[in-house]
């Protein structure tokens, strides 16, 4: 067997998400350098296209395919022909990899990391509908209404998209597709991305898709992906090790949030849930920050304004070792997502450190948390449910201690990689 492991489109292994890095690292422990090859597709408009650079990474061959964006699909096909793998495991979402593999008859496995792989809204808001509920529908024109929520004047934008004929929208796109015009480009893209995702779903039917929660299984089936091609494997994480549980000597429950500060993570719901709660009875530590884009920074400022007169400490983004310094003094992690969380690595890592988690029923959380056993589950986008559960936790510290004792890593990365090996072998023997 020769396995080609592809990183995210446009990203080399050094800049990859920690989860994908760890999958590669542990796979490299199970395969020899002749069985496992690492590959990245890097966009470079200056280099001759295609240009393949060969490196060595811990004894394994690492190919970097440099390509101009317009030729990415064709050059990926040439890249696959050059390597001639018996199976491909990809972390891309563009569809070029699947189309190229299908053209060559090479089986391909794809891991879903973000909702944007199916959902046209994407951008960290995958499967978040226009009314802030979690999506339970196939890709259709309703997705335009959801996407317009990210534009100025969302209702007017949606009305215009419904009014303009498809031919006009496609004509405008053909004239501006290589430009970035204020409002116009993202406005037209709300229509184009629906067409792109519908096309992508057709490609996806060829791949074997790894998903981390039951809701994603349902959504894929709803969009026509064959059930035999869907594999449910919760994400694996490295075991951080159980941290000593802090005492309750100051009669204060210390909560923490770990992750990006963005609308879909529901921090506005969390801040409102703490309204009226005696701030001498709790601390809330926010670990993470917002992306640099103006909209995210505005949201971050809004969260800070909501935090006034509450016992909230903002730590910003911290390196891994500093995260544990904060967590070791905290009792409970809160995960307040209002969108469909593919898995929730932060939840898994918190459980692995012996910290129970209060989370919304956002998809990935239900795969890891048993209500009242190692944490608590509430409905997403509900201030009242979140507040009531926070008050319960503050008033029932014995239950917090009991849940902490039951908090362990849900799915170690080693088990995850064993599951992957089983899938590879099963596909190759079909």
> Average pLDDT by consecutive 10-residue portion of the chain (430 residues)?
96 94 96 96 87 94 94 94 97 93 97 91 86 93 93 94 94 91 93 92 94 96 95 95 93 96 97 97 97 92 97 94 94 97 96 98 97 98 98 97 97 97 95
Give the pairing type, strands 51-57 and 36-43: unpaired
Contacts with 116 (C-beta within 8 Å, 6 or more apart), sequence order: 93, 122, 123, 126
How far from the centroid of its chain's Cα atoms is residue 88's Cα? 21
Note the pLDDT of residue 416.
97
Torsion of Cα atoms, 36 then 220 then 128 then 117, to 10°: 30
Note the pLDDT of residue 321.
81
Note the pLDDT of residue 70.
87
Contacts with 231 (C-beta within 8 Å, 6 or more apart), sequence order: 208, 209, 210, 211, 423
Provide the sign of the torsion angle of the four alpha carbons 307, 311, 314, 319, taken in this order: negative
Closest Cα partner for 10 from 71, 53, 80, 65? Answer: 65
The answer to whether residues 60 and 33 touch, using CB atoms and an 8 Å cutoff, is: yes
Does residue 57 sit in helix, strand or coil? strand
Note the pLDDT of residue 430.
86
Note the pLDDT of residue 320.
80
Provide the sign of the torsion angle of the four alpha carbons 241, 375, 209, 425, taken in this order: positive
What is the strand order of the sheet 208-211 is part of? 51-57, 60-67, 36-43, 3-6, 87-90, 108-111, 208-211, 230-232
How many angstroms separate the CA atoms of 262 and 122, rounded? 13
The answer to whether residues 125 and 147 touch, using CB atoms and an 8 Å cutoff, is: no
Q: In 120-137, which positions are buried (b, 16+ CB within 10 angstroms) versus exposed (e)?
A: bbbbbbbbbbbebebbee
Note the pLDDT of residue 125.
81
Note the pLDDT of residue 57.
94
Contacts with 321 (C-beta within 8 Å, 6 or more apart), sequence order: none
Q: Which phi and psi angles does 190 have, rounded to 5°?
A: -65, -30
How many angstroms separate the CA atoms of 23 and 16, rounded? 11
Number of H helices, E strands in the chain: 15, 14
The answer to whether residues 245 and 354 touch, using CB atoms and an 8 Å cutoff, is: yes
pTM comes to 0.93
How many angstroms separate the CA atoms of 115 and 125, rounded? 7
User: In residues, how long is the chain?
Assistant: 430
Reading the block at residue 126, the tokens are: 């995958």
Q: What is the DSSP string of 115-172?
A: GGGT-SS-TT-TTB-TTSSBP-S-SSTHHHHHHGGGSSSHHHHHHHHHHS-HHHHHHH
Contacts with 30 (C-beta within 8 Å, 6 or more apart), sequence order: 417, 421
Note the pLDDT of residue 197.
92
Note the pLDDT of residue 275.
97
The answer to whether residues 270 and 358 touch, using CB atoms and an 8 Å cutoff, is: no
């Amino acid at each position: 067997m020769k396995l080609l492991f592809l990183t995210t489109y446009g990203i080399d292994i050094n800049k990859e998400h920690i989860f994908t890095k760890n999958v590669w690292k542990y796979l490299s422990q199970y395969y020899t350098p002749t069985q496992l090859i690492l590959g990245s597709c890097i966009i470079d408009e200056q280099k001759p296209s295609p240009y393949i650079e060969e490196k060595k990474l811990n004894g394994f061959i690492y190919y970097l395919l440099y390509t101009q964006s317009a030729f990415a699909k064709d050059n990926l096909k040439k890249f696959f022909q050059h390597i001639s793998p018996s199976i491909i495991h990809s972390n891309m979402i563009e569809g070029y990899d699947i189309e190229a593999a299908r053209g060559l008859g090479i089986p391909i496995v794809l891991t879903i990391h973000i909702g944007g792989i199916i959902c046209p809204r994407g951008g960290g808001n995958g499967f978040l509908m226009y009314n802030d509920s979690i999506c339970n529908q196939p890709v259709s024109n309703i997705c335009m209404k959801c996407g317009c929520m990210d534009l100025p004047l969302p209702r007017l934008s949606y009305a215009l998209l419904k009014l303009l004929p498809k031919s006009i929208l496609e004509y405008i796109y053909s004239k501006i597709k290589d430009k970035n015009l204020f409002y116009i480009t993202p406005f037209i893209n709300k229509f184009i991305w629906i067409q792109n995702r519908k096309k992508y779903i057709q490609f996806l039917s060829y791949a074997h898709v790894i998903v981390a929660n039951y809701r994603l299984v349902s959504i894929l089936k709803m969009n026509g992906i064959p059930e035999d091609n869907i594999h449910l494997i919760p994400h694996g994480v490295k075991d951080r090790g159980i941290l000593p549980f802090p005492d309750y000597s100051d009669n204060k429950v210390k909560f923490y949030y770990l992750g990006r500060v963005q609308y879909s993570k529901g921090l506005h719901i969390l801040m409102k849930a703490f309204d009226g709660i005696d701030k001498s009875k709790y601390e809330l530590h926010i670990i993470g920050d917002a992306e640099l884009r103006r909209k995210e920074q505005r949201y971050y400022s809004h969260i800070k304004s909501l935090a006034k007169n509450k016992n909230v400490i903002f730590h910003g983004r911290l390196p891994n070792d500093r995260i544990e310094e904060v967590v070791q003094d905290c009792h409970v992690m809160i995960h307040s997502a209002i969108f469909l969380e593919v898995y929730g690595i932060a939840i898994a890592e918190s459980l692995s450190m012996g910290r129970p988690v209060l989370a919304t029923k956002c998809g990935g959380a239900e795969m890891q948390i048993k209500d009242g056993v190692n944490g608590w589950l509430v409905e997403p986008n509900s201030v009242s449910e979140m507040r009531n559960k926070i008050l319960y936790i503050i008033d029932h510290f014995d239950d917090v201690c009991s849940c902490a004792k039951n908090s362990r890593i849900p799915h170690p990365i080693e088990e995850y990689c064993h599951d992957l090996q089983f899938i590879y072998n099963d596909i190759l023997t079909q």
